[in-house]
């Protein structure tokens, strides 16, 4: 067996071990979002959403319903498209100099049925945010606060990131 063959054989044997070791050294972060809605008097603590994210990888969180929307109709046959409503979060985190960078796309939507015509398609109410900020690890931080332009509700979005 030549030296080149031995090196190639050793590399082939050790490569999976090196890959496994490298995957263990990737930092993992727990990201907690708390969304408070001033219009929801019973939820003073807010709604909480948490996910684990590998550093610089995107974490995705989806919770909600699929609402049918009629797209075409002929006698005896109606076609539907389904719209996802609820809370959708896409989040990426990373650490530099003891601070955590957070990039989050937040989409909150709901379906409201027409009162006058219950057979009509619902109206989709939607709020979209893109948050790109730096926060201190382990400290809850207000990252967005806004008034809903359609209602008199106020929303606060808090983020906390901890290294696992």
**Domain count of the chain?**
1
pLDDT at position 1 is 63
pLDDT digits (tens, 9 = 90+) for 76-125: 888 999 998 999 999 999 998 888 999 999 999 998 887 777 778 888 88
Band of pLDDT at residue 163, cut at 50, 70 and 90: very high
Q: What residues does 64 pair with on adjacent strands?
A: 86
Task: For residue 147, give its domain range.
Answer: 3-163
Burial class (CB in 10 A: 0-12, 13-18, 19+), 47: middle
Task: Say if CB 131 and CB 104 are below 8 A apart.
Answer: yes
How far is residue 138 from each of residues 1, 59, 159, measured CA to CA in Å? 55, 19, 9
Nearest 10 degrees: Cα torsion 25, 29, 30, 31: -160
Band of pLDDT at residue 17, cut at 50, 70 and 90: low
């Amino acid at each position: 067996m030549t030296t080149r063959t031995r090196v190639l054989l050793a590399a082939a044997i050790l490569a999976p071990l090196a890959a496994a070791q490298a995957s263990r050294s990737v930092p993992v972060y727990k990201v907690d979002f708390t969304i408070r809605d001033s219009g929801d008097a019973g939820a003073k603590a807010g709604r909480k959403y948490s996910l684990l994210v590998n550093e610089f990888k995107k974490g995705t969180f989806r919770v909600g319903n699929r609402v049918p929307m009629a797209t075409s109709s002929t006698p005896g046959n109606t076609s539907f498209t389904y719209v996802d409503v609820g809370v959708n979060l896409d989040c990426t985190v990373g650490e530099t100099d003891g601070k955590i960078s957070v990039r989050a796309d937040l989409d909150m939507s709901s379906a409201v049925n027409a009162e006058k015509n219950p057979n009509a398609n619902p109206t989709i109410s939607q709020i979209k945010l893109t948050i790109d900020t730096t926060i201190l690890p382990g400290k809850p931080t207000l990252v967005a606060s806004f008034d809903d332009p359609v209602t008199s509700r106020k929303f606060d979005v808090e983020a906390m990131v901890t290294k696992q």
